[in-house]
């Protein structure tokens, strides 16, 4: 998830500062460098937030809070993980807080919601996608997070371990249980 | 549904997370274990289903809004610099005040009236004889009249 070199060469041969270099510059007060991080990771963070939170409005709030948190934490970023992992960790925490607030507002929490009724098995396309999305949202927060990070974002166990700050073995077991639950929710689509 | 103790390893195998040796061992196991083979098929189906979920699309102005938001964040070190500036100003004021107190010419002390110094001075045996109540009264009157 990102190198630790200060500079890298783009496809058009131009040297671009790495994420880490941008963080170091931003740490010294260079706001242009911070904007560089926003430009590089903003859309990724938003996509991840939508997948974790299920709607665009909350997702944008979570990304803004993530950027504010990252900005506040520039000095404390220990450079032990990649910048993208660090940003992902902040976003996952912000999303968890959003879900807690949502629960306190007495909206039916996703982890207690039932997956939407499955579409007719003959239907295709958007119905299947909606059912799959509903099944993901019906998972508890921890299970949803590992499924999103692994299945939808393609992070390795080690990267998920760094994001969630849990041992890789716990990632594996949590992923195993989350998949079991998904298989049950989507059993009509499984042979 | 599963009667094999190695079923939990199916996820790691499916995700390519096993070491080459563990992967080879598990593939040998798969060839003989119907339960794990079935679970692997189900995992593959699940992954295929999940990949049908479309990536959420952001509207065209999202990045612009994020940049605007970033501009509202306090500058790194701004608070520290402000605190340093205020501390320097405060220190300057203290120094100026200290210099004024130590080097400024103090207002000349008003000479104590004769009656006061006389009254506060313990009388020596000699002055005790000289000082009379009438003399003390005269000094007090002089002082009240503004004369020294």
Residue B123: which pLDDT band, with cuts at 50, 70 and 90?
low
Least confident range of A36-40, A146-150, B23-27, B116-120: B116-120
CB-closest option in B17, B67, B70 to A157? B17
Residue of A nearest to B51 (CA): A152
Least confident range of A1-5, A20-24, A154-158: A1-5
Write down the pLDDT at residue A140. Answer: 87
CA distance B145 to B122: 26
CB-closest option in B12, B49, B63 to A39? B63
Q: Per-residue pLDDT averaged across B31-38, rounded? A: 93
- Contact state of B15 with A152 under an 8 Å Cβ cutoff: no
Mean model confidence pLDDT for chain A:
85
In 3D space, the residue among A58, A26, A46 whose CA is nearest the CA of residue A88 turns out to be: A46
Cβ contacts of A149 on chain B, cutoff 8 Å:
none
Q: What percentage of chain B has pLDDT greater than the value 70?
A: 68
Cα distance from B92 to chain A (closest Cα, Å)? 27
- Contact state of A136 with B50 under an 8 Å Cβ cutoff: yes
pLDDT tens profile A49-72: 999 998 899 999 999 999 999 999
Q: What is the pTM for the complete model shown?
A: 0.69
Cβ contacts of A73 on chain B, cutoff 8 Å:
none
Cβ contacts of A133 on chain B, cutoff 8 Å:
53
The answer to whether A177 contacts chain B (CB < 8 Å) is: no
Q: Per-residue pLDDT averaged across B115-135, rounded? A: 59
H-helix or E-strand spanning residue A47? helix A31-53
Write down the pLDDT at residue A149. Answer: 96
pLDDT tens profile B41-51: 999 999 999 98
CA A15 to chain centre: 28
**Per the structure block, which two tokens stand in for A22?**
């941008």
Write down the pLDDT at residue A114. Answer: 45
- Contact state of A35 with B67 under an 8 Å Cβ cutoff: yes
CB-closest option in B12, B42, B56 to A51? B56
In 3D space, the residue among A134, A150, A126 whose CA is nearest the CA of residue A186 turns out to be: A134
Q: Per-residue pLDDT averaged across A34-46, rounded? A: 96
């Amino acid at each position: 998830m990102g190198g630790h070199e200060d500079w890298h060469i783009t496809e058009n041969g131009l040297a671009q500062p790495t994420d880490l270099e941008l963080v170091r510059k931003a740490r010294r007060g260079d706001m242009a460098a911070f904007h560089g991080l926003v430009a590089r990771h903003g859309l990724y963070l938003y996509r991840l937030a939508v997948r974790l939170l299920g709607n665009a409005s909350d997702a944008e709030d979570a990304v803004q809070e993530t950027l504010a948190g990252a900005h506040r934490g520039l000095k404390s970023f220990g450079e032990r993980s990649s910048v993208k992992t660090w940003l992902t960790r902040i976003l996952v925490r912000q999303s968890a807080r959003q879900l807690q607030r949502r629960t306190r507002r007495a909206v039916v929490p996703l982890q207690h919601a039932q997956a939407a009724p499955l579409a007719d098995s003959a239907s295709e396309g958007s119905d299947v996608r909606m059912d799959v999305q509903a099944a993901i949202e019906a998972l508890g927060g921890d299970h949803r997070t590992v499924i999103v990070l692994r299945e939808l974002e393609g992070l390795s166990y080690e990267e998920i371990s760094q994001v969630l700050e849990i041992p890789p073995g716990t990632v594996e077991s949590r992923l195993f249980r989350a998949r079991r639950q998904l298989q049950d929710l989507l059993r009509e689509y499984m042979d | 549904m599963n009667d094999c103790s190695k079923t939990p390893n199916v996820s790691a195998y499916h995700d390519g997370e096993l070491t080459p040796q563990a992967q080879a061992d598990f593939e040998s196991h798969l060839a003989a274990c119907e339960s794990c083979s079935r679970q692997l098929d189900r995992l593959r189906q699940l992954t295929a289903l999940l990949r049908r979920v479309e990536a959420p699309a952001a509207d065209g102005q999202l990045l612009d809004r994020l940049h605007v938001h970033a501009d509202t964040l306090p500058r790194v070190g701004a608070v520290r610099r402000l605190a340093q500036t205020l501390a320097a100003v405060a220190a300057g004021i203290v120094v100026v005040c200290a210099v004024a107190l130590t080097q400024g010419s103090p207002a000349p002390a008003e000479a104590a009236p004769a009656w006061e110094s006389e009254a506060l001075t313990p009388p020596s045996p000699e002055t005790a004889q000289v000082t009379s109540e009438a003399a003390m009264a005269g000094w007090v009157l002089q002082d009240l009249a503004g004369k020294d």
